Structure 1
């Protein structure tokens, strides 16, 4: 069984139009989708899968969240052995409980947290002792990079490394934008073992947030699919260390996401 404690392992889109979002990402990223548990309701929770199996879900923004001003948003779940104990520990370390812990029948127990700088993530302990197997490499349709636009760079870096056991790799100087700190959720210190990066939140960003990079094939072809589907490319394509190419974009409903791929690969 894969150990998900302290690691992102499930990704969830809350959106204003799930059907339209599923059609968009199905074309852009290549996901397939099916209702959770075979639900046959008008508004089911939809499980989305990449080439290596299920990786996340798509749902309508809950009414209470919409009333509070929530707009379409991608969130990530971090594995936890004890949600309540971890929530208390992370709160003592500068995090904040945004929604009290509760059980999801047939799924597990979760809590909504924010880090010291204000970026939101969830903790989840599954109700089954068997977790989903984490894919290796960069399978199509799966998250292969996690990027935090930190509201408080120093405190957030200390929070994730100190409380979740992440390790630091190299830091890259971005000039006026500050430092881009490579991090690993798996304990690695070499470049190949890095799983994400933390950087100060740019002034252009409305708030601190986690951004997730979905793996595609050819990045230029993916750009055309984003545009054809009604999304907007905000930045890129740009080459990053290691030879991959990335873009940052918004889907037709306004949720921010990113893609990572290659040049000239189908």
Structure 2
């Protein structure tokens, strides 16, 4: 991936302590096929790829081991954002009051990565990926604004939207020009990259999950997906709500408690 890919969401990762339940859940809800075995990790756990029905990938599943639990790891979805200089991006996060959870490191055949949180506590990965052999201009297709089985929206809920907007637009080169008023919740600020909308920044609500990134997976039928959530050990967090453009979205917890957003049409 070239430097002009700065600011692209290029991978998504589910951290979970129950990969088997996650496999059944996300197959039924989204249509993904999670590797049943996975690759062994140095931590003693596994990493499994998430396959789409078209043969591509949607991300990966990192199994949470006992040592990780002891360090406070909990089931969660995390996004990877491309930056051509991971070390400089890490410095930008810490200079703005953020924290480092995984120092910048090289992973052979994968790229240079780091895990950081912003000053308000929202966590994500920074990454300069290593292109596949023979394809130096390869780009990620895990995010697409319109397609099912891709991630379609990246939402930041934060205790300080003004500071977060300034920080992320500065580090990743995103644009923030348009917004949607949400009454007492403040503005829902749309973020754009390369001329397209990739998500939004909004005020975290009292009693909610605090500052965090929230990701939405595309489904073929929102009602079918909602039924599958409850049938496979998940919990719906409300009813599907119509969004601009006519489709519907809803939040859910998977069987381990990781929050996932779903978006798609009502058939």
Fold equivalence (TM over 0.5): yes
- Residues 51 and 168 of structure 1: CA distance in aligned 2, closer, same or farther (over 3 Å): farther
Deviation string 1:149-183 (CA, Å, 9 cap, x unpaired) is 11211100111112211111421111111111111
- What is the match of residue 47 of structure 2? 45
Deviation string 1:175-204 (CA, Å, 9 cap, x unpaired) is 111111111132x2xxxx311111111113
Aligned pairs for 1:192-211 within 5 A: 193-211=196-214
In the TM superposition, residue 51 of structure 1 has moved relative to its aligned partner by 4.4
Q: Secondary structure at the match of 2:140?
A: coil
- What is the match of residue 104 of structure 1? 107
Moved more, 231-240 or 135-144: 135-144
Q: Secondary structure at the match of 2:34?
A: strand
Aligned pairs for 1:76-225 within 5 A: 76-128=79-131, 129-134=136-141, 136-186=144-194, 188=195, 193-225=196-228
Q: Secondary structure at the match of 1:194?
A: strand
Moved more, 6-15 or 161-170: 161-170
Number of residue equivalences: 258
Please, which runs of 5 or more residues in structure 2 have no aligned partner?
Answer: none
Q: Output the CA distance in 1 between the equivalents of 2:253 and 2:39.
A: 28
Q: Output the CA distance in 2 between the equivalents of 1:226 and 1:35.
A: 20
- What is the match of residue 55 of structure 1? 58
- What is the match of residue 5 of structure 1? 6
Q: Output the CA distance in 1 between the equivalents of 2:6 and 2:65.
A: 27
User: What value does the CA root-mean-square deviation take over the aligned residues?
Assistant: 2.2
- TM-score, with structure 1 as normaliser: 0.89
Q: Secondary structure at the match of 1:22?
A: helix
Deviation string 1:90-135 (CA, Å, 9 cap, x unpaired) is 3223433222112223212211111121100110112334544326
- Residues 137 and 7 of structure 1: CA distance in aligned 2, closer, same or farther (over 3 Å): closer
Q: Output the CA distance in 2 between the equivalents of 1:35 and 1:87.
A: 34
